Structure 1
Amino acid sequence: MTSTTLATRSPHRLRAAMRAAGLDGAQLAKSAGVSRAFVSLLLNGRRRCNPTIAAAIAQELSQPVEYLFTTAMLSDDSHNEMEDEVLSTPPALMVEDPYLGFDEVAALCNIKIKTLRHMRAVGTGPPFHKRGQLLRIRKSKALDWYRDTFENDAEDTED
């Protein structure tokens, strides 16, 4: 039997939901039944949690679990198996330009992860920012990099 753990979709999204609910890290930890350190690690993108804890946190923040948390295989633009009513009325805090991880950028640009790593190593990859141990980039920046890099290459080969 495999165990499912969930990561925060975006630390900024979780912080914004906490602000909207009027809770700080200590208050959220106490009401969700976890430690303050655990909430801090979630806010920094360094910790994952089980679905029960994710549900408790989402309930305290009055947000859908799917809005705050994701599995490694899902991204903000995935067509998750959510009900239509949830999709048709996104929360007020919905981020239009989400942060993407390394694997999500590779999938978005249809590039092998190994190729993207090589491009980053030689300085031609997208301008990722390190957030803790994770590489993050805004979706719009990743798409701009992709257009600049690959559309310019296509124009050069046509000449």
Structure 2
Amino acid sequence: MTILNPLSWATWLAENEDKLRPPVNNCCLHQGNDFILMAVGGPNERNDYHENDTFRDIPIKEGDMFLLPGNTPHNPVRYKDTIGLVMERQRPAESLDRLRWYCTKGNHSSPTIIREEVFHCSDLGTQLKPIIERWQQDEESRRCGECGCIADPK
């Protein structure tokens, strides 16, 4: 592995803040053989869940680090004027990622999936944007099959 020079975080942010904008707000800092390191900026307004059957809000405060087990649906929301670092493993060729959108308007007794996109993720920075944009632009794809409510695009 090549040893990289130290990175000035403040300089990098000043030069790359335009890359941390909606709809994904994500920029790859390093892509190695085993892991990917990304910067994620706020604010973002996303209502998709990136692939447990239970919902739980886990606030991650300034200075906190959180390790999320694989295949746990999570909603990566960032607030205004915040930056996070996300480290993910490189996905094996046979692995699949999922983006899910749940109905938040109907009176459902359990989480109700409106839409799910399944794909092999090889480049998070380029692959999520068109999927999210399709969701936002296609009202019918946001209609809950159980209650008929239409989810907000963001």
Instruction: Please state which band the TM-score falls in when normalised by the shorter chain.
Output: under 0.3
* Structure of greater Rg: 1
TM-score by length of 1: 0.26
Judging by fraction of residues, say which structure has more helix.
1
Judging by fraction of residues, say which structure has more strand.
2
TM-score by length of 2: 0.26
